[in-house]
Amino acid sequence: YTKWVWLVKGRRMALSSAEDYLKRFDPKEYLCLYYQGKVSSFNARPLRDLHAFYREAFVPAAQGEENVNYTKPRSLRVLDYGAGPAIMYDISAAAVATEIVLAEYVPQNRAALQQWIDGDAEAHDWSLFFKYVTEELEGASHGASEAEQSTKASVAAEKREERLRKIAKVVQCDIWQDPPIQRGFDVEYDVVFSSLCIESASKSREEFVEAACRLCKLLKSGGRIALHAASVEGQETQLYYVGKEKFVGVSVTEELLREALEKAGCYDVTFKRYPSDQSIPEEVANTAMSFVTATKH
């Protein structure tokens, strides 16, 4: 396989290849490093963004009521493309969707996802993330007495876990293949979400744009796309570590995201950027995160 190389601040930095992920990516180490213990502000940001995204676009609210209705899912088909081994980005989606497809390239990541869906005791524990979404963001225990709040929050989180396990399907994907997802799942989705994926599969800004266009072909007309991306100011690449292993991808700026989505036939692009701060793990130091949404023509 080929190692693609950028010149960054006077030194050569190799972009990670597909083979690197197949051979060197350890999902257990990754999950323990970035998603273990409390829900940090680094992890809470995309959860809040996705909660707002689904609430504003898809959750019905009774007229005159502050609390929206999370008990009547719509017939939404959601695609999480390049899901990795992480289930947390689909917690809010499970409140409104009837089907969630978790598409992932790396076999060991697909195994980790399936392990959680199957309720395997060795699977990563996402309970704190479910509780954060259902209690802190959706207000599952609001209005209850202090004694009742903990019980209500736990019940709501457990119900959401049960629902996500019921409606989620794990499939293979490769953005550079035709179709870019396992056959039988190459259909048009109401929502396509992708976090830190296509920049890792691209070796240039041009390829990132092409990958975004290929991804948007899986989105129906009028459908919504949401992307969680990473960038390092002034650099062509961004990187992160999993243990001693380094993975490098394209640095995704606001300009690049807007260009990619517009060329993919999307409009109404909204962009939010979170600068690097103390909440970001040292393994991704100096990396700024972005959240962008758009609608397909």
> Each residue of 147-190: pLDDT tens digit?
676 778 789 999 999 999 999 999 999 999 999 999 999 999 99
d(CA 46, CA 51): 8
Residue closest to 214 by CA, chosen among 228, 229, 191, 198: 198
* β-pairing verdict for 97-104 and 168-172: parallel
pLDDT at 243: 82
Q: Any residues with CB less than 8 A from the CB of 192 and at least 6 apart, and which?
A: 78, 79, 81, 215, 216, 218, 219, 223, 224, 225, 226
Percent of the chain with pLDDT over 70: 83
Residue from 256, 238, 232 nearest 200 by CA: 238
* Across 200-213, average pLDDT: 95
Least confident residue range of 32-46, 94-108, 201-215, 247-261: 32-46
Average pLDDT, the chain: 86
How far is the C-alpha of 297 from the C-alpha of 278, rounded, in Å? 39
User: For 234-271, what is the HEC assignment?
Assistant: CCCEEEEEECCEEEEEECCCHHHHHHHHHHCCEEEEEE
Assess whether pLDDT exceeds 50 at residue 99: yes
Do 102 and 181 touch, CB atoms closer than 8 A?
no
Residue linked to tokens 């479910």: 130
Mean pLDDT score, 18-34: 92
With 0.85 as the threshold, say if the pTM is over it.
yes
Residue 1 to residues 23, 78, 116, Cα–Cα distance (Å):
12, 33, 32
**pLDDT of res. 135:** 92
Phi/psi of residue 105, nearest 5 degrees: -80, -40
139 pLDDT tier (thresholds 50, 70, 90) = confident
Confidence of residue 95 (pLDDT cuts 50, 70, 90): very high
